[in-house]
Structure 1
Amino acid sequence: MIRVLVLALAWALSGVAGSAEQIPFDETWKEQGFLRLFSNEYTLQGARMGVVSDGTISVIWRPIDAKLGQARTASWNWRVDQSVVATDLTKKGGDDRNLAIYFVFVDAETAQKLTRKTARKLLRSPSTRGLVYIWGGAQTRGTAHPSPYNDALSVKILRGVGTGSFSETIDLAADFQRAFGQAPEVLVGVAITADSDDTDGRIAAEISNFQIK
């Protein structure tokens, strides 16, 4: 227990309290495909990223620097020009959504040991917890529930299906406490996905000005 507390303190001191950083869309982002499916198209343009999903699904992943491990809020702009239809995101299968942004946390001791290069390895760790913010689904805006694929992921609907352009600011600490009954520890990565394979739909979208602090 003492060792865990010491490691947590070390991570906390590794960053500047209250500092904010814009997360660039650059070569640091790596696509994590699914073997049986075709991949989405991601266009990395520095301050923004375009996404086209045409009957496809994949995840693009970025590890977070240790100095931002204690980040507790995030903000971004997102736009959808083509949308999939509404689906039930509480059930496996048939659960397409326009965009989903994942924030992945682990405990301080695990953060020292795990590689952050792939999302799949992190998600296999028993200490991993994730918050998923979604544009899509048939549920009411603000609805939150466990992912049907993994109880360690908590899903929150920020926007329903349809097109438009919006700015979001989220409280990671409050949402984590609500979902898991405890404060988050170390943020180790973020991921973005667009999902149109189940309904054979098409998504054209963009995310920009992505910041965490």
Structure 2
Amino acid sequence: MFRILSAAALSLATAPVLAAPVSFDGAWKTQKFSLFSSNSYGFNGASVSVASDGAVSLAYRALDASFRDATSARWSWQVSEGVPPTDLRRKGGDDRNLALYFVFVPAAQEDSLKGASVRRLLTNDAARVLVYVWGGAHKRGAVLDSPYLGSRGKTVVLRGSGTGSASETVNLSRDFANAFGGPATALVGVAVSGDSDDTDSRIRASISGLQIN
């Protein structure tokens, strides 16, 4: 009996952890950066559509504690209209079709920042943000300094400027270590953005099937 129980325990310990879906529902809140313009987001549970006409904003969702130690993520995205190639390192000139943000904070600050706005999180000195991007005039895999987040954020280019559809799988732990030089802190939220204000162009795009493990 002991051998049977031990084998069962070992099997459970080594079984792969299934990815948890993140719904695109009413829990997402829009953060404007201008009083006069904003993107339009269409949340339908499985996906979010993004329409941007010479505008920029982001939509943010806090994650519960079950995601704090996540090591990977995957999703699909599609762009039917997008912005021209830009330099994603240039403040005021870094338009991109889509960006997916993963926001991390030290475990010691989780409780004090629970329920905090995305603006407060992105300006917190201890926060670290991985921004996966479709857009820009850069090669896939380029890791760039964020022109707005400073040492708190890194842009990871997954697709250059253009249209089409693709599926992505990212290693959050590895990318965090490469970007910030240490083990990942607690994952507390995700955000979606489209950015077309600098080039006064149009974006029609969507993200679906977001899962975090």
The two structures have a TM-score, normalised by structure 2, of 0.90
Q: SS of the residue aligned with 1:152?
A: strand
Partner of 2:121 in structure 1? Answer: 122
Q: % of aligned pairs identical?
A: 48
* Alpha-carbon distance between aligned partners in 1 of 2:91 and 2:191, rounded to the nearest angstrom: 20
- After superposition, give the CA deviation of every residue in 1:166-197 in whole Å (9 maximum; x if it has no partner): 00000000000001110102000000100000
Amino acid corresponding to residue 193 of structure 1 in structure 2: S
SS of aligned partner of 2:110: helix
Residue matched to 2:189: 189
What aligned pairs does 1:130-145 form with structure 2 within 5 A after superposition? Answer: 130-145=129-144
Contact 1:37/1:57, CA 8 A, preserved across alignment: no
Note the residue ranges of structure 2 that are not aligned, 5 or more in a row.
Answer: 1-15
Larger-Rg structure? 2
Q: How does 1:40-59 map to 2 (within 5 A)?
A: 40-59=39-58
CA distance in 2, matches of 1:132, 1:59: 12
* Paired position in structure 1 for 2:102: 103
Q: After TM superposition, where is structure 1 displaced by more than 6 Å over at least 4 residues in a row?
A: none
Gaps of 5+ in 1: 1-16
User: Aligned ranges for residues 154-193 of structure 1 at < 5 Å?
Assistant: 154-193=154-193
Contact 1:147–1:153 (Cα < 8 Å) also in 2 = yes
Query: Are the aligned partners of 1:89 and 1:95 in contact in 2 as well (CA < 8 Å)?
Result: yes
Please tell me the root mean square deviation across aligned C-alpha atoms, in Å: 1.4
Q: TM-score, normalised by structure 1?
A: 0.90
Q: Distance in 2 between matches of 1:193 and 1:32?
A: 10
1:85 matched to 2:84 = yes
Cα distance between partner residues in 1 of 2:148 and 2:196: 17
Question: Residue 74 of structure 2 aligns with which residue?
Answer: 75
Per-residue deviation, residues 18-68 of structure 1 (Å, max 9, x unmatched): 342111110000000013440101000110111100111101000011111
Measure how far apart 1:91 and its partner are: 1.0
Q: Does structure 1 conserve the Cα–Cα contact (< 8 Å) formed by 2:88 and 2:144?
A: no
Once the two structures are TM-superposed, the CA of residue 128 in structure 1 deviates from its matched residue by 0.3
How many residue pairs align between the two structures? 198
In structure 2, give the amino acid aligned to 1:103.
F
Aligned partners of 1:101 and 1:134 also within 8 Å: yes
1:83 & 1:66 partners in 2: Cα distance? Answer: 35
Structure 1 stretch displaced more, 127-136 or 115-124: 115-124
